[in-house]
Structures are given as structure tokens and as C-alpha cells.
Amino acid sequence: MLLKLSTARNRPILMVDSVDHVTGKTGLTLTITASKDGAAFASITPTVTELATGWYNVALTTTHTNTLGALALHITATGADPTDWADEVLTALPGEADANVAAIKAKTDNLPASPAAVSDIPTAIQNADALLKRDMSAVTGEASRSPLNALRFLRNRWAIVTGTLTVYKEDGTTASWSGPVHTTPQDPTTGIDPT
């Protein structure tokens, strides 16, 4: 069964005798618990009207149907078998206009009539090749310890002046990073610590 979100709804329930499990049981006071969208069962008190021959009308209010998802009821009464039923609470019933669907449709209606074919999507190899061939001078906003700054030492101009190594950007004049050069008498350059 389906229910619309925050809409009152009547539900007929059949209660049968707990002795023969067949005969409709009349004159009952129903105890009803509900679970909304998988939450723990909790007591609810909808208006219950006895119809006839063991049938009772349970009048669910908008408070009972205010949560999307499964709505399960467990109903008991002295002298009757317990009964259960479940509904699904939706934003709209089948065939009705749904605000969510309308919003999605409005966005998808603006998509191109013929999107790019799957064959136009670059492969992993094409992406890797494009990355390796990209001109480093076209990249901006890199972090100080980015792969780009590491590669600059291999490809760009660098210089050691008074114990400090400076690696330059692609223009050859703007410093990219620098660090002190550590030396010993036996091995003039023993390490570089970039800042």
C-alpha cells in the first residue's frame, strides 16, 4: 500500500478471534504501535471506529504519515490475534505531480540534446599523457611541496648562492622554492632542505 506524505488516511483492519483464528472479533479496544522508516515501534492513538464483523477503521492523521519510508503498524487487542500491516509513505502517489520530480526534470531539460559519446571520454592513458605533456608554466596555485615544485628542480634553472639553493619557476627569474645547502669538507654538497 502507498500513502502520501503528511496526508490523513483511513485504514480498515480485520481483527480475528484468538481462539478459532477465523471469526471476526467485535467490541475490541485496539492498542496500536507504529514504526516510521525503520525506527523503533512507539504507541500511537489514532481514532478507531468499529465497522462490523471484526473490521475496524483506523484513521491515520498527518502526524502518523509525516515521515518518508516504511510505515508499519502492530495492532493488538484482548481476545484477538495480533495483526500487522505496512505502507510506504511517498512524496507523491503514482500518477501525481511530484515537486521533487519536477525539480529534477527542470534541471535535466537544460542538458544538451546529444551529449558527448562515450568514445569521446579520454582513457586513463590519454589522461596520463596529457598530464605528462602539460606545460608547467600553465599551472598556478600549487602547494609548496607539490609534485610540480619537485619537478622544477629537474627541469628549471636553479642556483646556489652563499649556501642557499634557489629553484626558479618556468620564467627563469621568479623563485619557486629555496633551502639551505649543507656541506662538509670531504663532500662539498651533502643535502638540501627545501623550505
What are 93-149's pLDDT values in tens digits? 777 666 555 666 666 666 666 655 666 788 899 888 888 888 888 888 888 888 888
Cβ atoms 153, 175 nearer than 8 A: no
Q: What percent of the chain has pLDDT over 90?
A: 47
Q: Mean pLDDT for the chain?
A: 86
User: What is the pTM for the complete model shown?
Assistant: 0.50
Cβ atoms 51, 61 nearer than 8 A: no
Query: What are the beta bridge partners of residue 70?
Result: 88
Residues 6+ apart with CB under 8 A from 143: 149
Cell matching residue 172: 627563469
Give CA angle at 23 (22, 27), nearest 5°.
135
Give CA angle at 86 (16, 20), nearest 5°.
15
Burial of 158 (0-12, 13-18, 19+ CB in 10 A): middle
Query: What are the beta bridge partners of residue 5?
Result: none
Q: Give the H or E element holding residue 106.
A: helix 99-108
